Structure 1
Amino acid sequence: MTAETNPSYLRRLGTWDAAAIVIGGVIGAGIFRSASTVAERTSSGAQTLALWAIGGLLTLAGVLCYAELGARRPQAGGVYIYLREAFGQLPAFLFGWTMALINYPGSVAAVATTFADYFCAAIGLPATWVRPVGAGAIAFIVAVNFFGIRAGSRMLNVFTILKVSAIALLVVVGVVLAHGQFGNVLAVDTTRQLPAGAFLGALLPVLFTYGGFHYLNDLAGEVRDPQKTLPRALGLGLGGVVVCYVLVNFAYLAGLGHAGLAASHAPAADLMHALFGETGATVIAVGIACSTFGYCSIAIAGGARVLQTMGADGMLFNAVGRIDPRWHAPRVALAVLGGWAIVLVLSGSFGQLVDYTTVGEWLSHAFGIATLFWYRRRFRNEPSPYRVPLYPVLPLLFVGTVLSVIVATAIHSPGDAGMSLLLIAVGVPVYYAWRAWQRKRA
């Protein structure tokens, strides 16, 4: 396609917009629910807080690697672009096959349903409205993004402020409930006898909750001055997330205690209910709804850019690769991704799909970071606008951590891991069939 028939994206995202994408892509519903799982696998508040800090530092290692990759190749498509250049079309297609066509719409459907659950509960709608509301939320996000990245980022900025405000409210409530007595925050729970390796097992939900930082790289083609803005926004965004996660867990421990947090199924709601009753639970339900809505907005925007890049490469139908000449948005890709996600919401068939693609998502992180070694070797004499510090220690640390997560996931859920690998493998004959069909058309 020529530039005349397929316009390029416009670089409209500044540092704050880009940092908001990182914050919004990482903070979804996890921190409001998974903190109890981490506490359940630890024996003290000190261990719990340490895990959230360690998980943040490990994720930061990956973020710094993504910062260099984004600075080297500031184009829409993110990991798809890196894999295509370093390893070829087949690995890049397999990434797009599992992520843009399965994982992204599956996760959007799951989180949109979570949004609808909290939204309906907050305004008193019956459970029969959950699926229509979730589908409507996706349709609304797609419609807004039809008008370009600026419209989408403005909506995202609003919901990022709202979700950070919800976290700030939780911190204040936790401190108030503690009545100045913070000894239980770091106290050891002597009633808990944990098996060996439990501490490492508790790191898994922490790392999953830190996932989603890669969406900014999917949108790198629309970031202003990307060589400077991408590293800065990734660092600021993830740093802000780490602070939020540690503080909100401090609030949970201060208000509920370690035993109370470990026993809670909805710690955010329990914390608010303890001070404000049903009104507090309703308020935090609205906050969680805002948080999940913001995540869906980012996942749809980022996933559509991957689909559009694949279409422009000939890996999907040509129409998917088109960019609207007026609004500079991948409208067909947005419609495809959003439409498939709506089907999954209405059918309720997204749960297993997300479980099946978890290993594929983490494999994409490992191979994405591994391309950094190829770029360093292939362009050793080419100056890079940003270089990850402590190379090669940080990328090796991150890849090793990701592979450990994959192994632990396979041990814990062998069926899901096996299906994830099978879905990736199915992409191989699909790739060759697609290439053969293209040659026949030509």
Structure 2
Amino acid sequence: MKDKQKLSLFDITIIAIGLVVGMGIFRTAKDAAAASTSPAMYFGVWILGGLIAICGALTYAEIGSRYPVTGGYYKIFAVCYHPSLAFGINCIILISNAASLSGVALIGSEYIAPLIFESPTAFNEAMLAIAAIVIFYGVNLMGLRMSSNTQNVLMIIKLCLILVLIAALFFPQLYHVNTESIASATTAVSTNNILLFGVALKAVSFTYGGYQQTINFGEEVHNPQKNLPRGIVMGIITIITLYLCVNYSYYKIIGFEELKSTKSIAAIVAEKMFGAAGGYTISILLFLAVLAYVNVLLLSNPRVMYAMSMDGILPKAFKKKEEKKDVLTVSLSVFAGICVIVLFFADRFEQILSFTIFLDSIGMATSAGAIFILRKRTKHLDNTGIYKMRLYPVLPVIFILAYIFVGTVIAITNPEYAVTGISVLTVFIILYFIFRKKGNNNNNFSDADLLKEEI
């Protein structure tokens, strides 16, 4: 790739911000606050979550630099692990993505439901979320797509909402009357507090997610040895700053104790600033942003399934495409179906959050662990201009241990989701051997085997 076409420091910084800043900041603050015993613990977990994100992003950046291939995040499993494990993990990552879509749809429904129902229930919110998924499933099935500007509009909406929430800090008259000092009410370290910290970190991890996609930009950055780590660190530091400012606004305007039980937090801040009309406007904008996010995931994930089928990772049926409309009918239908099924079994955001992050903890820990395998297999790439992180192996070890910790906390506090996650992974591993035995995937992982030989 020519240097003029490669990503600059500014480009990779903006990409890092765009990959991470999502819808979670408008909801997960409530869950993190509910698990925190003090404001100091609350803000501490947001800072720690950002530092873990830096460790993860730099780890994935080197993986992407050592293994520069389109769709690298799912292909590294096939290259570095046994095909059965790769198949199982890739499938649960897709389920995690579906659950994440369902969770974000619920965030939007929680904001819009009070404008439609007098006393909205969890069932009402779940039905609104399902309606959003079904509508955009139909849109995608007909071959209609939002333009690429949809994502840009979504990003503008999110950043404007974040700036509005931060601006509330400049109006002291809006502050909650009983706001306690951040350093107050600190408690001694105990097993219970460690578990609570892990529960708070679970919510924060959802909000900081997305940086793993830096794996796709390893060879596309100009002077990657310097610009890649600088861009990632600058991007995530910017995100940490934005998130801390937004959370400080929640803390000052809503109050720490009230934040623990308030779902439509952004709307409440806007209502205090601009009155009831401001709260309604924020709720509608957030719901529109959620609809665009739902559409984007319904566009992207079926294409991942299609690519996995082309590689022999999923059955051939997932390659089925309606050529006239360029619609991946089977992949789109299966993915949308998983999203709806998740909402039938978990109609509250807290439930989906636990399930999603437990699956993510498996995928993140194993994918980051690939760096140890790739370092050995690609020693010949050292000193050839690829990105090679400093403080190895400390950074990937910190990242892996953090997700093992979060996964363990979920297994202790919500064992039903951990059992479900492990069971789903086991079923997919068994299915791999069934597919292989029946010959449905005669070329299963053939591309992966070739890539193993190449690297």
**Which residue of 108, 116, 122 corresponds with 2:101?**
108
Q: TM-score, normalised by structure 1?
A: 0.79
**Which residue of 62, 73, 92 corresponds with 2:56?**
62
Query: For residue 6 of structure 1, what is the aligned residue in structure 2?
Result: none
Provide, for residues 260-283 of structure 1, a one-character-per-residue CA deviation record: whole Å limited to 9, x for no partner.
434534332332222333222212
CA drift at 1:72:
2.4
Query: For residue 395 of structure 1, what is the aligned residue in structure 2?
Result: 396
Q: SS of 2:390's equivalent?
A: coil
Pair 1:344 & 2:345 matched: no
Asked if the contact 1:112–1:135 (Cα under 8 Å) also holds between the matched residues in 2, the reply is no
Moved more, 15-24 or 381-390: 15-24
How far apart in 2 are the matches of 1:440 and 1:320? 12
How far apart in 2 are the matches of 1:323 and 1:64? 36
Query: For residue 381 of structure 1, what is the aligned residue in structure 2?
Result: 380
Asked if the contact 2:24–2:207 (Cα under 8 Å) also holds between the matched residues in 1, the reply is yes
Query: For residue 236 of structure 2, what is the aligned residue in structure 1?
Result: 238
* Structure-to-structure mapping, 1:274-423, within 5 angstroms: 274-318=272-316, 320-321=318-319, 331=328, 335-336=332-333, 338-341=335-338, 343-344=340-341, 348-349=344-345, 351=347, 355-356=354-355, 358-383=357-382, 385-423=386-424
How far apart in 1 are the matches of 2:246 and 2:48? 15
Asked if the contact 1:355–1:416 (Cα under 8 Å) also holds between the matched residues in 2, the reply is yes
How far apart in 2 are the matches of 1:365 and 1:414? 19
The residue type paired with residue 238 of structure 1 is: I
Pair 1:82 & 2:76 matched: yes
Pair 1:166 & 2:164 matched: no
Asked if the contact 1:119–1:285 (Cα under 8 Å) also holds between the matched residues in 2, the reply is yes
Q: Assess, with a 3 A threshold, how the Cα gap between structure 1 residues 340 and 23 changes in structure 2: closer, same or farther.
A: farther
Q: Assess, with a 3 A threshold, how the Cα gap between structure 1 residues 19 and 45 changes in structure 2: closer, same or farther.
A: same
Query: For residue 132 of structure 2, what is the aligned residue in structure 1?
Result: 133
How far apart in 2 are the matches of 1:106 and 1:265? 19
CA drift at 1:376:
0.6
Q: Assess, with a 3 A threshold, how the Cα gap between structure 1 residues 194 and 292 changes in structure 2: closer, same or farther.
A: farther
Query: For residue 273 of structure 1, what is the aligned residue in structure 2?
Result: 271
**Which residue of 212, 220, 223 corresponds with 1:214?**
212
Provide, for residues 114-136 of structure 1, a one-character-per-residue CA deviation record: whole Å limited to 9, x for no partner.
33453465588995765333421
Provide, for residues 139-171 of structure 1, a one-character-per-residue CA deviation record: whole Å limited to 9, x for no partner.
446778x76xxx764311210111111111011
The residue type paired with residue 29 of structure 2 is: A
Asked if the contact 1:359–1:417 (Cα under 8 Å) also holds between the matched residues in 2, the reply is yes
**Which residue of 202, 205, 215 corresponds with 1:204?**
202
Percent identity reads 24
CA drift at 1:436:
1.8
Provide, for residues 46-96 of structure 1, a one-character-per-residue CA deviation record: whole Å limited to 9, x for no partner.
443232112101111001111111222233333321111111321210112
The residue type paired with residue 70 of structure 2 is: A
CA drift at 1:395:
0.4
The residue type paired with residue 401 of structure 1 is: A
How far apart in 2 are the matches of 1:355 and 1:82? 25
How far apart in 1 are the matches of 2:358 and 2:288? 28
The residue type paired with residue 315 of structure 1 is: I
The residue type paired with residue 170 of structure 1 is: L
Asked if the contact 1:65–1:369 (Cα under 8 Å) also holds between the matched residues in 2, the reply is yes
The residue type paired with residue 163 of structure 1 is: K
Q: Assess, with a 3 A threshold, how the Cα gap between structure 1 residues 187 and 80 changes in structure 2: closer, same or farther.
A: closer
How far apart in 2 are the matches of 1:130 and 1:425? 29
C-alpha RMSD of the superposition: 4.0
Query: For residue 428 of structure 1, what is the aligned residue in structure 2?
Result: 429
Moved more, 65-74 or 181-190: 181-190
The residue type paired with residue 259 of structure 1 is: E
Asked if the contact 1:175–1:251 (Cα under 8 Å) also holds between the matched residues in 2, the reply is no
Structure 1 unmatched ranges of 5 or more: 1-11
How far apart in 1 are the matches of 2:298 and 2:214? 12
How far apart in 1 are the matches of 2:140 and 2:379? 42
How far apart in 1 are the matches of 2:291 and 2:151? 9
Query: For residue 257 of structure 2, what is the aligned residue in structure 1?
Result: 259
How far apart in 1 are the matches of 2:233 and 2:317? 35
Provide, for residues 221-262 of structure 1, a one-character-per-residue CA deviation record: whole Å limited to 9, x for no partner.
899659859767655553443222111011112223333434
Query: For residue 99 of structure 1, what is the aligned residue in structure 2?
Result: 93
The residue type paired with residue 137 of structure 1 is: F
How far apart in 1 are the matches of 2:315 and 2:22? 32
Q: How many residues are treated as equivalent by the alignment?
A: 421
**Which residue of 11, 20, 30 corresponds with 1:36?**
30
Q: Assess, with a 3 A threshold, how the Cα gap between structure 1 residues 113 and 182 changes in structure 2: closer, same or farther.
A: closer
Provide, for residues 84-113 of structure 1, a one-character-per-residue CA deviation record: whole Å limited to 9, x for no partner.
11113212101122122x222232233234
How far apart in 1 are the matches of 2:38 and 2:99? 35
Query: For residue 155 of structure 1, what is the aligned residue in structure 2?
Result: 150
CA drift at 1:419:
1.5
CA drift at 1:294:
4.7
Q: Assess, with a 3 A threshold, how the Cα gap between structure 1 residues 301 and 230 changes in structure 2: closer, same or farther.
A: farther
Structure 2 unmatched ranges of 5 or more: 444-455
Asked if the contact 2:108–2:290 (Cα under 8 Å) also holds between the matched residues in 1, the reply is yes
Q: SS of 1:98's equivalent?
A: helix
CA drift at 1:373:
0.5
CA drift at 1:435:
1.1
